[in-house]
Chain A
């Protein structure tokens, strides 16, 4: 029989807490936490659907991967789940903890944000003007989506210009020379040219020749994908310092006549950049430490949004706004719940929610569904429109700026959540290095 290497009592406690929280969500608050050896199905506490649903909740919250196979031939009990989780944990290498015990997970190598920035296109267009350009009734974007204005790139601006500006600002904020960068990880949902955006940024920022350049996809989820890659590069020792850059210019692609205003009118142009390092920041305000990331794909919503090149050079857009709105709210709420469970950070203790913002109305709805204040969501889409992969980046930068104004020790964690067509989803968290 395989011996399970022991795990610490603190970790055991946090796994138990996680399992109990998932159980409460499945069974309801009125159901008492059962004894470890109680078979939940035999006792009628959960039916078979509830049992699998509970298990999936634990998988998602713990990041333990597939537990179902490990629980075959075992009872439907807490003891079986905790045993499977411990076996799964024992396969992950131990990483030194910062000792705070909050929001730091096993298997995550420290990576810190030491500088950030975001910029938007220099033209600010009132939403009524966008309504007019797309032939929609005046006031539609404002009343239906809550968008007051949209940021648009001026003639000389594009993904490279906006991305480079954000990156330079972030480097300055981090007191980091461009030659110190080991990697540039770039993402954009609108830049499809070659050389790719990361290659163009490499040239524009004058980084070392042996600084790597990588483009990652994911559309609006791109920032989280890029963070996960950057964290892995730092964690594996491949890099000490990484620039993560997002840049999106929708106004050249989603034009009147090419797409409907109900879709194209929502988008703005912008960029964001983050400097990630292995070492903590020397800035007295300190940086934020990246926690874990969780990802997935809810393919049942894939049909809600599909964009492809048409043969005639046009753009084929399939956009079911109502279905996408429902899916976005449901999935982001689920992602934030999983982040809450996995990090052990209550949503009530979160200082900012840097989420994707399809439109301001949905952000308000998401806040309501999650039972948190809408003011914890930096208002990006309201004034700039949906910035694609840069929405989450602009929101995170705003949340970091707000946190920098707080005294050390008062700063709060930040949650990340985003979506991309597919329906790709991802989430994560950052904790202050106070």
Chain B
């Protein structure tokens, strides 16, 4: 049996992708439990900070998704840690300060439009944490996108935000029952209060991930943004 501290829950199409931290041989490393039938879980009732017991095969996945382990049984929650403590553990796992160090390979820009990608044959891993100098979320033509500055000063633009809780928060903000001008109100929040709440939070931390190879390219995305959104923030706008 393995114990995993759940750190990532991302929306990938109709399914959820999960990553957790595992303490092994004095090291804290990221593990992505995947079902035997696909890369994602159709339902995942747990939360970030939950510690789950599960059974994982010892074989790592193909590069760059070397964190993949097939989960042979269900998950059982045994305890939970608060958000700030989860980030303490994340800071002890895979972390980088510059673009080439994120996945151990050069990162390329999309020549046609926006987005950044890694070559799956070059990338050494598919998840990495980092601090940010600055971070902005925007709703771009109905799509949630992040732009952020790494400690090295390098800027990553138009990263798709796949963090389940942030996506749920945006959906809730745009829900019909919330009255008029919902999009404009959300945009105002993202351009003002959001920035203060995130950047002033002592456990502000992000994790960036790589998509599965798509036409032989793995695209960068914002997997996790700490702090997670709070429902009461919806009352502020």
- Contact status A72-B141, CB under 8 Å: yes
- Contact status A48-B143, CB under 8 Å: yes
Q: A52-B158, A53-B115, A333-B111 are in contact. Are A76 and B98 (CB under 8 A)?
A: no
- Contact status A300-B109, CB under 8 Å: yes
Contact with A along B190-227 (1 / 0, CB 8 A): 00000000000000000000000000000100000000
- Contact status B140-A55, CB under 8 Å: yes
- Contact status A300-B112, CB under 8 Å: no
Contact with A along B125-145 (1 / 0, CB 8 A): 000000000000011111101
8 Å CB contact of B154 from A54, A69, A72, A300: A300
Q: A25-B112, A330-B108 are in contact. Are A49 and B99 (CB under 8 A)?
A: no
Complex CA gap A29/B99 in Å reads 32
CB of B152 within 8 A of chain A? yes
B82 to nearest A CB, angstroms?
Answer: 32
CB of A87 within 8 A of chain B? no
CB of B155 within 8 A of chain A? yes
A contacts with B: majority SS: helix
Complex CA gap A52/B115 in Å reads 9
Interface size class of A (residues with CB under 8 A): 20 to 34
- Contact status B106-A326, CB under 8 Å: yes
Complex CA gap A107/B139 in Å reads 28
**A-facing residues in B82-136 (Cβ within 8 Å):** 98-100, 106-116
Q: Inside 8 A of B149's CB, which chain A residues have their CB?
A: 299
Complex CA gap A415/B141 in Å reads 31
Closest B residue, CB atoms, query A24: B112
Q: Inside 8 A of A22's CB, which chain B residues have their CB?
A: 113
- Contact status A68-B140, CB under 8 Å: yes
**A-facing residues in B21-53 (Cβ within 8 Å):** none
Q: Which of B107, B152, B154 has the most CB of A within 10 A?
A: B154
CB of B160 within 8 A of chain A? yes
- Contact status A302-B106, CB under 8 Å: no
Chain B interface residue count, CB cutoff 8 Å, equals: 33
- Contact status B139-A68, CB under 8 Å: yes
Contact with B along A333-366 (1 / 0, CB 8 A): 1100000000000000000000000000000000
- Contact status B98-A303, CB under 8 Å: yes
CB of A26 within 8 A of chain B? yes
**B-facing residues in A367-401 (Cβ within 8 Å):** none
Q: Inside 8 A of B138's CB, which chain A residues have their CB?
A: 68-69
Complex CA gap A333/B155 in Å reads 20
- Contact status B140-A323, CB under 8 Å: no
B11 to nearest A CB, angstroms?
Answer: 11
A322 to nearest B CB, angstroms?
Answer: 9
- Contact status A300-B116, CB under 8 Å: yes
- Contact status A56-B113, CB under 8 Å: yes
- Some 18 contacts from A to B, beta carbons below 8 A apart, are A26-B112, A48-B143, A48-B160, A49-B115, A51-B141, A51-B143, A52-B160, A57-B112, A57-B114, A68-B139, A72-B141, A299-B155, A300-B109, A301-B154, A303-B152, A303-B154, A330-B108, A330-B109
Nearest 10 interchain pairs by C-beta: A53-B113, A68-B140, A299-B155, A71-B141, A56-B114, A57-B113, A72-B183, A56-B113, A53-B114, A300-B154
